[in-house]
Amino acid sequence: MTHDLHTLSLTAVRDLLRTGEVTAVAAAQACLDRMAATEPKLHAVLHTAAASALDAAASLDAAGPDPKKRLWGVPVLVKDAICAKGLPTTCGSKILEHFVPFYDATAVAELKAAGAVILGKTNMDEFAMGSSTENSAYQTTANPWNLAKVPGGSSGGSAAAVSAGQCFGALGTDTGGSIRQPASFCGIVGIKPTYGRVSRYGLVAYGSSLDQIGPMTRTVEDAAAMLTVIAGHDPKDSTSAPQDAPDYEAALAAWAKAGDLKGLRLGLPDEYWGEGVDAEVLACCRGAVDAAKGLGAEVVRVSLPHTPYAVATYYIVAMAEASSNLARFDGVRYGLRDATATDLPGLYELSRAKGFGPEVQRRIVIGTYVLSAGYYDAYYRKAAQVRRLIRQDFLDAFASCDVIVGPTSPFTAFGIAEMTEDPLQMYLSDIFTISLNLAGLPGMSIPVGLGAKSGMPVGLQLFGPAFGEERLLRTAKAMMDAVAPPMTPRGI
Ligand code: GLN
């Protein structure tokens, strides 16, 4: 049994751990073995913490299973933008190549307190800037369904690792879709919680008003279990929501006894279901909506009229915040310091030129420009105003529906190197995910089948009102159970 442990869901392996049928060390070893077998082709992990993971697992085993710890003995991976004490945290960048934090991010501390075992850190686009994980300064991650395709990004390492069974769940971060889009490309479940629901303490900042940490797993129940552990108020993060998080897992289990969607109004925005979306994506997403109708959901048309402005608005706001957040990497306080500089301006220039890759440099330049005295009103202020309109679109739509659904991405995973020459094309591919971050609302992506033409996973996206995660989880579980998408990647 132990040799195919990695194919089980997080909650299934947790049950075996709780009864003592599987030890924490055996679970960690099964994942490490799976990593050893798949990493030469996948390149999903930047740092494997085999020794500390096995040590942590051995201490858990010595103390014995603890049912009060929700993730007792469960091996997980963490995106390399999130600090884990004693493990390198590079954020996919050369500028942080030798950075080893001496503290845990709150989300990581919560995972450890719940008994989870941290297996290592996953690959990502440098500073979470990208949609394919190709902007990592270290390696290109492959998609487990087809090794010639990207896993999506920026949390592509986490998505590929979860899909390939290297771990039972992983943390990702989502500033403009970086949990949902790779989840969709790799055929797994990913949640971007409401802004403020999960602490950002210990997360390397990209766009601070947009960033959220969230779970990436193979089932909706698994995502609910992880979210319950990491959600909640954190005094260390001043933007953390000052309200207790519910037990999402218990709420989902209680609802699952009924299991239908009677009374639920599913909103389909006109802007997400038409032009520009591949036919195979629309077909799979429509299939999931039909399944929801079969379970009693009512379908209503809604509109998010400011969608055409979302990409421009997002890239102004995100780059402005990034240019400010990344100013701290100056060769003095953190990370890479150029040894050849002869004066202070030279130290800044050379350290940053050598430490940051081309996409990060591009964004710092554009972000600085849109915040500069002569252009602030034309760009940043305007973007902040449009952002408010985009949020209002959602609030208006939620007056006539409970959950909004649409494709996560207009297409399935694209080929490695297919879009790297054209950053604008890459930005445009985020069209369906970025509005949600601008609005601060929760969303998730679930797999709903394989594209008829590409054979690659298709993701359906669900949007909820603020703090509507429970509703999202219920709807997602019902739809995913009804569709029963294939979950075993064929490429690895
Ligand atoms: N693809 C978007 C970007 O490049 C979103 C990234 C993210 O969510 N971190 O900014």
Instruction: Provide the residue-wise pLDDT of the chain in tens; the chain has 492 residues.
Output: 445 899 999 999 999 999 999 999 999 999 999 999 999 999 999 999 999 999 999 999 999 999 999 999 999 999 999 999 999 999 999 999 999 999 999 999 999 999 999 999 999 999 999 999 999 999 999 999 999 999 999 999 999 999 999 999 999 999 999 999 999 999 999 999 999 999 999 999 999 999 999 999 999 999 999 999 999 999 999 999 999 999 999 999 999 877 889 999 999 999 999 889 999 999 999 999 999 999 999 999 999 999 999 999 999 999 999 999 999 999 998 889 999 999 999 999 999 999 999 999 999 999 999 999 999 999 999 999 999 999 999 999 999 999 999 999 999 999 999 999 898 889 989 999 999 999 999 999 999 999 999 999 999 999 999 999 999 999 999 999 999 999 999 989
Q: Please give the distance, rounded to the nearest whole angstrom, from the Cα atom of residue 351 to the centre of ligand 1.
A: 24
- The rounded distance, in Å, linking the Cα atoms of 403 and 468 is 9
Respond yes or no on whether the N-terminal peptide bond of residue 9 is cis (omega within 30° of 0). Answer: no
C-alpha closest to that of 427 among 279, 313, 321: 313
> Does ligand 1 have an atom closer than 6 angstroms to the CB of 190?
no
**261 Cβ partners below 8 Å, 6+ apart?**
292, 295, 296, 297, 474, 475, 478
Ligand 1 centre from 433 Cα, in Å?
9
Ligand 1 atom closest to the CA of 315, numbered from 1: 10
Residues serving a catalytic function are 79, 154, 178
Q: Is 199 in the pocket of ligand 1 (CB under 6 A)?
A: no
Nearest atom, ligand 1, residue 129 CA: 4
Tell me how far apart the alpha carbons of residues 7 and 18 are, in angstroms, rounded to a whole number.
18
Angstrom distance (rounded) from CA 266 to CA 257? 21
CA of 8 to the centre of ligand 1 (A): 30
Ligand 1 atom nearest the C-alpha of 434 is 5
Q: How far is CA 158 from the centre of its chain?
A: 8
Q: Does the beta carbon of 174 lie inside 6 Å of ligand 1?
A: yes
User: Would you say the CB of residue 166 lies under 6 angstroms from ligand 1?
Assistant: no
Ligand 1 midpoint to CA 417 (Å): 17
- State whether the beta carbon of 177 lies less than 6 angstroms from ligand 1: yes
Which of 123, 154, 433 is the best mutation target for the ligand 1 pocket, counting ligand atoms within 8 Å of the beta carbon and taking the most?
A: 154
Alpha carbon distance 166, 38 (integer Å): 8
The alpha carbon of 50 and the centre of ligand 1 are apart by a number of angstroms equal to 30
| Atom number, ligand 1, closest to the C-alpha of residue 173 | 9
